[in-house]
Structure 1
Amino acid sequence: MSRYLTSRRLFLLLGSVIVLMVIAGLTLAQSGRRASFPERVVMDVENTVAGWIYRPVSKITGFFAGLSDMRSMYQENAQLKREMQKYQALRAELSDAEAENQRLATMLNFYNRTNNTLHEIPAAVVGREPSEWNSQLTINVGTADGVQPNMAVVAPDGSLVGRVDTVAAHSAKVILITDTQVGDGVAALVEAAKSQPFAVVTGSGASAGELALDFLGQIVQMPASELVGDEVITSGLSNVFPRGLVIGTITKVQYGAHNTVKSAIVQPAAQMDYLQDVFVVRQSGSGTP
């Protein structure tokens, strides 16, 4: 009997819930009025159950969406890195092309300026020992190209580099003007000085990469301001270096007795540390210098 009553109560409870849901469904279809108590109960239950389901599902959905976004971001980042590498490579190629164009333009300008007075043989620097950096270098032209010993060698802008020493068929050794061992000096003059004093330029033993200028005869009481900054050029008094090749610029004047100018320090005009191309030159119409 008690079991029957219990089952009956359960059926009554379920029936009541069903009736409440039917009533709520019918009444919710009507708009513009306040919900009744049964309706509010049903709505609260639905909202609670929906919240229990929505929050975990939302978090799971957000997690997988985040994974997808991270994957897309990684792919975009990898693509940007590849494009940046291509851009940097292209920029390096452009920089090299601009530098090459500048070197060729400088060489062409010197060639045009001296076309009627000098015969130029273009060459590339192919060897340079660190232990002899300021003494000599090797170029890729030789007797097969018309190169002979004691020809002058200049930078692309025409500034003096040195002279040819030993020559093979397709290469040659060049003694630099900054050499302090083999170099026998360059006959020079100070172009802008009023008296244009003659001098001999050799490699400086005191400072590597610089030149020492010794005047032929002392210059009496000449202010340093009249010499510092002046350009030193070849005098043309030797049969090796044609006249007018730029050697460098005076940076310091050294005085002897009675305030007389005795010597000076010269900074070479040629960029000795960055030589890639040079000209071997001789005066047009002349034979072996």
Structure 2
Amino acid sequence: MGKFFSGGRLFGLLALIILLVVVAGVSLRSRSTQLALPEKWIHDTESVVSGWVYEPVFQVDTFFSHLRDLQALYEENAQLQTLVNQDQGLRTEVYLEKQQNQILKQMLQYKGKSPQFQLIAGDVTARSPISWNDELTISVGEKAGVSRNYPVINQSGQLIGRVVAVAEYSSTVELITSSTTSDGVSAAIVIPGSPAYGVIQGSRAHVGFLTMQFISQLASGLKVGNQVVTSGLSDIYPKGIVIGNITQFESDGTGITRSAVVKPAANLNALDYVFVIAPQPGQVLQ
């Protein structure tokens, strides 16, 4: 062993080791900048295969990402819709409250301007579509001082009808537009000089309107638009309650009198609150 590592042999071994280190270093530097041909094939194959795998995986990931975005958007829209519905509900409540306050204000104003009447306030509680133009039910009855044949007006003092049936806590009101009643309302057309008189009933030819009959042909100053009020020639209706306005005149075929179509002043399709007119002391209503 000592002879093997002695002299020139040891020098040669050291030289060989140094040469291998230099060659290895050169080889490593070359591989960092340039690939060998087999490595190139492997690299390109790996790139192509990775592309085949990457694209479907990317598409699937994108699809589920969009699904998550849509789910989040749906939940956000649902929350926004809830807020919108709540806002619309609040707006509706505010609108109805304003309408109710306006009606109640009108009722107070009318009551203050009409000390000649004893007014009993009530609200409409029932109305059938079958008898829409004929009758309705109100929330006041005998306990509130209501009796049969008491006149009924709206919040502005315009004639609606009269009480025809009374219970303890409710009453039935026959509307002036009813064409089933044989009773009429003694009415007067407001014109300069002496008024023209007639009788108001619900119109059969014009649903929701009134017919005023027995108007004298001798009456002058009659025209479309004239106001019609209660005449006071009745034990039921006090004088001067507004009924409506004339929309047209019609001949009744007698040559002595004529009739007129009258549009009610009260909006009978939108009744929520009413006044029942009770008699003042000494006044008798039948």
TM norm structure 2:
0.76
The answer as to 2:145 corresponding to 1:146 is yes
Per-residue Cα deviation, 1:167-216 (whole angstroms, up to 9, x for no partner): 22222222222223334211211124554212221222323322111245
CA contact (8 A) 1:242 1:282 kept: no
1:1-289 to 2 correspondence within 5 Å? 22-23=29-30, 25=32, 45=44, 51=51, 54-114=54-114, 116-219=115-218, 222=220, 226-255=222-251, 262-282=258-278, 284-289=280-285
For 2:28 and 2:261, the matched residues in 1 are separated by: 108
CA contact (8 A) 2:137 2:173 kept: yes
Fraction of identical pairs, as percent: 36
CA RMSD of aligned residues (A): 3.3
Q: Which amino acid aligns with 2:77?
A: N
TM norm structure 1:
0.75
For 1:48 and 1:21, the matched residues in 2 are separated by: 27
Partner of 1:8: none
For 1:167 and 1:255, the matched residues in 2 are separated by: 38
Q: How big is the shift at 1:82?
A: 2.0
Q: How big is the shift at 1:261?
A: 6.0
Please state which structure has a larger fraction of its residues in helix: 1
For 1:170 and 1:159, the matched residues in 2 are separated by: 24
For 1:153 and 1:183, the matched residues in 2 are separated by: 18
CA contact (8 A) 1:177 1:202 kept: yes
Per-residue Cα deviation, 1:117-159 (whole angstroms, up to 9, x for no partner): 1111011222334443322222221221111222110112211
CA contact (8 A) 1:148 1:288 kept: no
Q: How big is the shift at 1:246?
A: 0.8
For 1:19 and 1:67, the matched residues in 2 are separated by: 54
Per-residue Cα deviation, 1:39-67 (whole angstroms, up to 9, x for no partner): xx79x859767756654553343233223
> How many matched pairs?
258
Q: Whose radius of gyration is greater, 1 or 2?
A: 2
CA contact (8 A) 1:121 1:280 kept: yes
Distance verdict in 2 for CA 1:235–1:58, change over 3 Å:
same
Structure 2, unpaired ranges of 5+: 1-24
